[in-house]
């Protein structure tokens, strides 16, 4: 983990440069970086729906706030959540850190919603956009903390790579993102076992994470990080019909080019 964190610290030092788009069929937009330097990109500044990749910003704000051992009570609003859920019930109590884990690992919308409400309620989206602006994410605007399709919500592959590089600075995010399965209980004793939505974990050598996403409007989305022999490759794919196979191909080529 230390080697990965040291490599992550160097990502921002890499300088992007103009590159051709050698794989236009990969995704509606994509970007691949090796040790912080752009290798390949296609429509990397195009504004597209980010799906659950938006949860990286929710996670970042939670990690920057800290206090993950605080207790959080689930509100009635959780019943309105759709898509991937873990089945939280109003009145249950969980650690903020367990809600973060369910958000990162399982991409659970109910956990994400409870976490966002706990962090800042109705003003949370405003904080997401303020943080995005501070990171220089010029082609990003959030309208939902969990990534549901919403009018006015968009992000670019380049911006999401920047967000990924920021969240990767947190050891706790890296620890969670690489977990194939997590276990925890509510304060009342109800137990949860959640599997990671990232199909590359345990199947692709060096895969670490970072986030998956899907909505009808966004299609299949992925931010994947992998490390081999000190070389760190980050890829972002937006609306990629064959995201797993295409991600493997991009990662393989990026590692091969480093030899």
Q: Which of 33, 55, 127, 211 is catalytic?
A: 55
Per DSSP, the three-state class of 91 is coil
Q: What are phi and psi of 62, to 5 degrees?
A: -65, -40
Three-state SS sequence of 191-206: EEEEECCCCCCCCCCC
Which stretch of DSSP H or E encloses residue 101?
Answer: helix 96-101
Residue 155: strand pairing partners? 48
| Residue positions counted in the chain | 259
For the chain, the maximum distance between any two Cα atoms, rounded to a whole number of angstroms, is 55
Q: Quick check: is 130 catalytic?
A: no
Q: Which of 43, 52, 127, 156 is catalytic?
A: 52
Residue 156 and residue 64 in contact, taking contact as beta carbons nearer than 8 Å: no
Give the separation between CA 113 and CA 75, rounded to whole angstroms.
Answer: 10
Q: Which of 107, 127, 156, 211 is catalytic?
A: 107
Per DSSP, the three-state class of 148 is coil
Task: Find, among 166, 171, 144, the residue nearest to 82 by Cα.
Answer: 144
Three-state SS sequence of 6-68: HHHHHHCCCCCCCCCCCCCCCCCEEEEEECCEEEEEECCCCCECCHHHHHHHHHHHHHHHCCC
Residues taking part in catalysis: 52, 55, 107
């Amino acid at each position: 983990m230390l080697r990965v964190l040291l490599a992550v610290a160097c990502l921002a030092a890499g300088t992007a440069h103009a590159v051709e788009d050698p794989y236009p069929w990969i995704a509606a937009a994509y970007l691949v970086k090796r040790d912080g330097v752009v290798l390949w990109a296609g429509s990397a500044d195009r504004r597209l729906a980010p799906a659950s990749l938006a949860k990286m910003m929710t996670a970042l704000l939670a990690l920057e706030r800290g206090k993950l051992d605080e207790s959080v009570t689930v509100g009635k609003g959780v019943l309105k959540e759709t898509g991937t859920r873990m089945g939280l019930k109003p009145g249950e109590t969980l650690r903020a850190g367990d809600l973060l884990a369910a958000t990162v690992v399982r991409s659970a919308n109910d956990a994400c919603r409870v976490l966002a409400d706990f962090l800042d309620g109705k003003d949370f989206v405003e904080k997401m956009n303020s943080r995005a602006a501070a990171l220089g994410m010029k082609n990003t605007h959030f309208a939902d903390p969990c990534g549901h399709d919403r009018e006015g919500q968009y992000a670019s592959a380049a911006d999401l790579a920047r967000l990924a590089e920021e969240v990767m600075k947190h050891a706790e995010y890296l620890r969670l993102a690489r977990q194939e399965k997590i276990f925890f209980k509510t304060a009342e004793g109800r137990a949860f076992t959640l599997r990671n939505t990232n199909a590359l974990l345990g199947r692709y050598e060096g895969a670490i994470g970072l986030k998956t996403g899907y909505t009808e409007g966004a299609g299949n989305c992925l931010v994947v990080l992998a490390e081999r022999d000190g070389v760190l490759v980050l890829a972002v794919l937006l609306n990629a019909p064959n995201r797993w196979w295409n991600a493997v191909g991009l990662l393989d080529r990026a590692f091969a080019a480093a030899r």
